[in-house]
Structure 1
Amino acid sequence: MASPTDRRPTDASETDALLGPGPSSPSSDSRRKDSWDGNDDFVGLPWTQRPSVYWLIGPYALFTLAFGGVIVPKLNLIIDLICRGYLADREHQGFTVLPVIPGGDNPQCQIPAVQRSVATFSLAINVVVGSLSAFTAPRLGALSDRYGRKGIMVISSCGGLVGEIITIFAAKYPDLIHYNWLIGAAVFDGLAGSFTAGSVVSHSYTSDCTPPSRRSVSFGYMHACLFAGMAFGPLLSGYFVAWTGDLVSIFYVSLGCHLVFITYILVVLPESLSARRQNIAREKYAKEQEAYDAEIRAEELSERVEEAAGRRTPRWVPVEWAHKATTRVRRSNPLAPLKILLPKGIEHKKVRRNLLVLATIDTTLLAAAMSMGGVTLLYSEYMFHWGNFETSAFISMVSMVRVFVLMGIFPIINYIFRVRPAARQRRISGEEPRETNTGADRLDVWLIRSAILSDVLGVVGYIFARTPSVFVISGIVTAFGGLGSATIQSSLTKHVPPERVGQLLGAIGLLHSVSRVIAPILFNGLYAATIGSYPQAVFVLLACVFASVSVLSFLIRPFVFMSEDADEAVSEDTSRRAREQQNEILAEDDVVPHI
């Protein structure tokens, strides 16, 4: 028998229609509390104060352009600064060297010593940003549940703002400000959550103001902005640097983008979380902290009672300090945000499985996308002798197909399989169906499986492609895999109550940050090791990974969700058990030392 929190709206099987009666059936509405009431909090307000994903699409596109537009210029700047320092040292040793022209062709920098230093320095920056954002992004996501999305968006952009200021000063005054200050810029960026936190909170905003039936499409719009920014940002920045003749100019543009984004968020964007929903999230957080504090106090009290009764000798002072330090570390465990993927209780068994499977698939897809972009370009240049124009055209075309799929095909699929059936049911019943979070529906599940299949087919095409045309067609096939990430992240938000969306996406952001550090080392290292013997080896590994993920996707079950009532019950039960444990300990002895 299904548990209350894992119950399905119907007992239909996977062979039934994609949606079935689902959440809009009268019987299912009567069986559970409505868990999506985003529109109710803003009824009666003017349209300028009602949150919508359309308020965010333009600024988010600007945010992604600012992030993607400086990737290549910043790498070139690092090369110039490191090369300048290296050649200056050589000049002091009596060698004659050519001056380094910022942003220009500097063949004197294309030497192993400089390239090695650049690779090491770039890795250090990536590790700093990835490590710090892995710690801060999930906490900022959870904080946005309690205090609103707008402030956290501003914080995440302020990190990039400070980073661009440091970069500009390092580029303009290299004799005064050493290039190692760029690591300081990475520290500020990472502490503010970097791009990961901005993406997490933006998707949380989208989830807040979009009903479940349209959430996948809205997430698709956000992912389309992301892919467009990452693809066209470097292209536009290249043209801009060529037009101005100044490499530093693009960093001024990025600085301006951050300022415009921050101003827009503060002045124009309506907050998506009402005061009521923020208060609900704060109350739940307070209960969780109270329960956790009660567990810690019960543990400490148990130790003191045992010492007083002579059942345990007191710890040596340094050991006691170490024990207290361990307790504090446990409370600030960097992996603690992942606990939302493992909700407690036997009644959440199916929810746990779905959350873990979806998080694993999403992290794998993102890790592959973040790490394989550069490898794919290097491989295409090596195999087909492409130049800058051909590789840029390939990336732009694949990105355009991906954007078209997300903004053109995806809404049509959603209209056919979700909007039209809902409209038909509304005409038959004469009532407006009430939308609630009911987990991923069958359309979500099959979209995820289809997207992963397109990734598998495209990567297999890369393995066997020996002509540019086959390689390009394979790239177009992989572009349809863009449906996967958008559908997965929207499906994740349907598994938890609204006041936990930021916390959930923050945990996903932690996994993303870690994957940004580990995956490039794995794939780039394999490509470097096999380029001379079998350059397709990296694609073979990727195909195996995608095939495994495809099998994993068949573990996802539709219409599984965590109800608000059960979530509150688990929190209250934890607090109650901690209090009972405390009382049992106090009753254990007649003599209890005063604390």
Structure 2
Amino acid sequence: MVSAESPFAEDAEIEQHLREYTHHNQSSPPLAVIPAAPIQSDVEVDESAPLLRVSTNPDSETGVEEENTEEWFGYAELKGLPWWKRPSIFWLLPPFLLFTLAYGGIIVPKINLIMDLVCEEYYASQDPDPISGPVDPGQQPDRCRTDAVSARSSLFLLYASLASGILTAITSPKLGALSDRYGRIRLLTLTTCGTFAGEVLTILTAKYPEKVHVNWILVGYAIDGLCGSFIVGMAFAHSYAADCTSPQKRNVAFGYFHACLFTGIALGPVAAGYIIEARQKYVDKTEAVLLVFYIALGCHIVFILFLNFIIPESLSKARQEAAREKHRIEKEQRGPSSDFINRIRSLNLLAPLKILWPTGPGSNSAVRWNLILLAATDTIMFGVAIGAMGVIVVYMRQQFNWQELESGRFVSIVNISRVFCLLVALPLLTRIVRGKKGTKSQPHSGSDRFDLFIIRVSVLFDMLGFIGYALARDGSLFIASGAIAAIGGMGSPTLGSALTKHVRPDQVGQLLGATGLLHAFARVLGPTIFNGIYSATTSTYRQAVFVCLAGTFGCALLCSWFIRPHGEFSREIRSSTAGFFS
């Protein structure tokens, strides 16, 4: 069942057992996997207490609550390993940057290539002529700017998002659980191979359009979704960082990976644009665009080689074996009901979301509602970002006649602005407000006022940026609106940090799994809704989609105003909705 194998959820319990094992007896027999005791839901809870209680030691002889100052178990696990076998984020960051450059470099060319192929297929179906061969759409750009072609292209991107997003939502919990049992490197390799296969199909479709139908690109999206897609790949990178980084430094490590992602998305498109422009002097446009895809395939191959021959695995053999043993015991306990057919019948995709509605000791209604509101805000922002990406590129092509170079410049300017906000503005604001040692003295008791300020301001700037998209009729104003929306990039890491402050440290992995599932759902719903709106309104009022996107950010802003900072919960509200997601 999904609830038993939610992504990265098993890791927390395994860490706890390993921590006890390392702390109490270094020479004891191999780790025994002990099923967690059920949580009693009828325990009286003081709702006016802080968001998260100070952790207690159940084995304490005095029985008095004490702060958990135990050293992170990972230090003992990594101690003694030679430097070439010691996992570190700095092993993964350089090749991951190469991977994100390849990912960012083909975003705009792939959408424009799809539009060209859809355009050619559309006119071939309208006026089939067996005498004349296929025409390079890049040589006749005007005929591909019609409302009919734009609507058809938007629908194709919608189907692509559905094919990838639905399969990602189904497979991501399984892939996450497999990474707990067999390591992050193997699963990250699988995800990269799925992306590689999808791009190979795109190349074949563009190179041989008379033999390979454009719909084969949808098959490539489906393969990418089966392997987890880039979303799960990013989650695996975060899991790698969590495995080899102490909790106090984890937010910094996550920030490095976010910076890699946005740097790749910022530099990739403009580099691809210049490559295409230079290559187009010697070959036709389609061949020039394919050069970018060949380079991207080379980057994927280098990344796979790094993963398998250079980067050390972050999950130790002991933790992998413990996870496999735990899975084996759970499978035996399920008995015959664990066969494939029964598991399909009892499949519950919402089961991992139980972490967003915690019950029992240490939880209260304030924690529960804050988790729900934070997760809702995070999902809305992610869904809008994913849903708007393809629509914006199609809109720029139709409204301003921007090709790869101009579109690449727009994407680069927006994402450079986002990287600046993440690496300069946000750390500077944090230093000014919290001081040099502020992050070390913060209690693990929910979001503070500064977190909520950053979240609300970020959502507001996102909303203003999309209002600017709707009003701009000039390319420069459209770029300026994108730069304003980029300020909202500070919201995503702040939301992730705020979410983790509402759960115990041993539940962070389970929480990341739940948010990953929500992101997978958003990847399906966002493009479906917004591509559908654009397709329906492109001939009447094509800016309507940006009005809807701005309104969606307004909903996220409304949700953020109901999130309360820690220390302000005095009213006691009891709840008995433990089975909300069951």
CA distance in 1, matches of 2:275, 2:183: 36
Which residue in the other structure is 2:455 paired with?
A: 448
Return the offset for 1:107. Answer: 5.3
Alpha-carbon displacement from aligned partner over 1:441-467 (angstroms, at most 9, x marks no partner): 554444323322333444455566677
Distance in 2 (CA, whole Å) between partners of 1:547 and 1:93 is: 50
Q: Which residue of 2 aligns with 1:254?
A: 296
Query: Counterparts of 1:348-387 in structure 2 under 5 Å?
Result: 348-349=363-364, 350-376=366-392, 387=402
User: Given that residues 204 and 505 in structure 1 are in contact (C-alpha distance below 8 angstroms), is that contact kept between their aligned partners in structure 2?
Assistant: no
1:336 corresponding residue in structure 2? 351
Q: Is the 8 A contact 2:180 2:323 kept in 1?
A: yes
CA separation in 2, counterparts of 1:454 and 1:239? 30
- Alignment partner, residue 482 of structure 1: 489
Alignment of 1:297-316 (within 5 A): none
Residue 241 of structure 1 aligns to which amino acid in structure 2? Answer: I
Conserved 8 A contact 1:76-1:103: no
Number of equivalences: 506
The answer to whether the 8 A contact 2:383-2:523 is kept is yes
User: Would you say 1:60 and 2:132 are equivalent positions?
Assistant: no
Deviation at 1:469, TM superposition (A): 6.6
1:235–1:392 CA contact under 8 A, matched in 2: yes
Structure 2: any 5+ residue segments left out of the alignment?
1-44, 56-63, 568-578
Q: Are the counterparts in 2 of residues 79 and 109 from structure 1 also a CA contact under 8 Å? A: yes
- After alignment, is 361-370 or 78-87 more displaced? 78-87
Counterpart AA for 1:338: L
Given candidates 156, 178, 187, the residue that maps to 1:152 is 187
Partner residue, 1:428: none
Worse overlay, 436-445 or 122-131: 436-445
Say which SS state the counterpart of residue 512 (structure 2) adopts: helix
Contact 2:461-2:488 at 8 Å conserved across structures: yes
**Alpha-carbon deviation of 1:132?**
0.6
Shift of 1:151: 1.5
Distance in 1 of aligned mates of 2:327 and 2:502: 19
Query: Does structure 2 conserve the Cα–Cα contact (< 8 Å) formed by 1:207 and 1:493?
Result: no
1:488-523 CA deviation, whole Å, 9 max, x = no partner? 224434555666555433332332222223223333
Aligned to 1:234: 269
Q: Any idea what the Cα deviations from partners look like across 1:323-349, whole Å, max 9, x if unmatched?
A: x99853343333333334344546544
Amino acid at match of 2:349: P
The Cα shift of 1:129 comes to 0.9
Q: Which residue of 1 aligns with 2:216?
A: 181
Taking the aligned partners of 2:402 and 2:272, their CA distance within structure 1 comes to 18
- Displacement after TM superposition at 1:62 (Å): 2.0
- Tell me, yes or no, if the aligned pair for 1:77 and 1:102 is still in contact at 8 Å: no
2: CA distance between counterparts of 1:443 and 1:41?
35
Alpha-carbon distance in structure 2 between the residues aligned to 1:290 and 1:439: 38
Contact preservation (8 Å) 1:355, 1:492: yes
In 1, Cα distance between the equivalents of 2:512 and 2:439?
31
Q: Indicate the residue corresponding to 1:518 in structure 2.
A: 525
Aligned position for 2:52 = 7
- Give the Cα separation in 2 of the matches to 1:330 and 1:498: 33
Tell me whether 1:411 sits opposite 2:427 in the alignment.
yes
The alpha-carbon deviation at position 136 of structure 1 amounts to 1.1
- Which residue pairs with 1:20 in the alignment? none
Q: 1:165 to 1:500 in 2, by over 3 A?
A: farther
The answer (yes or no) to whether the contact 2:266–2:412 under 8 Å persists in 1 is yes
The equivalent of 2:418 in structure 1 is: 402
1:97-112 matches, cutoff 5 A: 97=132, 99-101=134-136, 104-105=139-140
Distance 1:539 1:249, change over 3 A: closer
What TM-score does the superposition give when structure 1 sets the normalisation length?
Answer: 0.71
The 3 A distance-change label for structure 1 pair 376 and 180 is closer
Residues 92/465 of structure 1: CA separation in 2 closer, same or farther (3 Å cut): closer
**Alignment partners' CA distance in 2, 1:386 and 1:250:** 21
Match of 2:167 among 132, 149, 156: 132
CA deviations over 1:406-450 (Å, ceiling 9, x no partner): 12233334455667226998xxxxxxxxx9976555544443233
Whether the 8 Å contact between 2:154 and 2:534 is mirrored in structure 1 is no
Q: Distance in 2 between matches of 1:167 and 1:472?
A: 29
Rg larger in structure: 1
User: Structure 1 stretch 441-450 or stretch 142-151: which is displaced more?
Assistant: 441-450
Secondary structure of the structure 2 residue equivalent to 1:30: coil
Deviation at 1:157, TM superposition (A): 0.4
CA shift digits 1:216-239 (9 cap, x unpaired): 333333223222323432332232
Distance in 2, Cα, partners of 1:168 & 1:466: 34
SS of aligned partner of 2:315: coil
Bigger drift between 550-559 and 240-249 goes to 550-559
Secondary structure in structure 2 of the residue aligned to 1:248 = helix
Following superposition, the deviation at residue 46 of structure 1 comes to 4.0
Mapped to 1, the partners of 2:422 and 2:236 lie a distance apart of: 20
Provide the C-alpha distance between the structure 2 equivalents of 1:63 and 1:266, rounded to a whole number of angstroms. Answer: 15
| Alpha-carbon distance change, 544 to 163 in structure 1, aligned in 2, over 3 angstroms | closer
% identity of equivalent residues: 43
- On the 8 A contact 2:183/2:315 being kept in 1, the answer is yes
CA distance in 1, matches of 2:116, 2:407: 23
Is the 1:100–1:106 contact (alpha carbons within 8 Å) kept by the matching residues of 2? no
Residue 333 of structure 1 aligns to a residue whose secondary structure is: coil
Question: Structure 1 residues 328-337 or 530-539, which shifts more?
Answer: 530-539
What TM-score comes out, normalization by structure 2 length? 0.72
- Tell me by how many angstroms 1:547 deviates: 3.3
Distance (whole Å) between structure 1 residues aligned to residue 85 and residue 414 of structure 2: 37
Per-residue CA distance 1:349-393 (angstroms, 9 max, x = gap) = 45443432222111111111122345456667888x575566544
Per-residue deviation at 1:404? 0.9
Aligned position for 1:74: 110
Alignment of 1:471-550 (within 5 A): 472-496=479-503, 501-527=508-534, 537-550=544-557
Give the AA of the match of 1:51. Answer: P
Distance of 1:339 and 1:394 partners within structure 2 = 40
CA distance in 1, matches of 2:496, 2:506: 16
**Residue 462 of structure 1 contacts residue 474 of structure 1 at CA under 8 Å; is this kept in 2?**
yes
Distance change (3 Å), C-alpha of 1:270 and 1:2: farther
Structure 2 counterpart of 1:14? none
Alpha-carbon offset, residue 251 of structure 1 = 2.0
Q: Tell me if the contact between 2:167 and 2:222 (Cα under 8 Å) persists in the aligned partners.
A: yes
Q: 1:195-232, CA deviations, whole angstroms, 9 ceiling, x for partnerless residues?
A: 11101111222333344444333333322322232343
Alignment check: 8 A CA contact 2:464 2:484 kept: yes
Q: Which amino acid aligns with 1:483?
A: M
| Contact in 2 for aligned 1:36/1:436 (Cα 8 Å) | no
Q: CA RMSD of the aligned region, Å? A: 4.2
Distance in 1 of aligned mates of 2:531 and 2:89: 36
State the AA in 2 paired with 1:255.
L
Query: CA contact under 8 A between 2:147 and 2:538: conserved in structure 1?
Result: no
- TM-superposed CA distance for 1:169, in Å, is 3.3
Go from structure 1 to structure 2 and tell me whether the alpha carbon gap of 1:133 and 1:480 turns closer, same or farther (over 3 Å shift): same
Aligned partners of 2:119 and 2:474: how far apart in 1? 37
Distance 1:120 1:218, change over 3 A: same
Q: Pick closer, same or farther for the CA change 1:35–1:120 going to 2, 3 Å.
A: farther
- Do the aligned residues in 2 keep the contact of 1:35 with 1:497 (CA within 8 Å)? no
CA gap of 1:405–1:49, structure 2 versus 1, over 3 A, is farther
1:69/1:236 contact within 8 Å kept: yes
Q: Give the superposition deviation at 1:402.
A: 0.8
CA contact (8 A) 2:273 2:408 kept: no
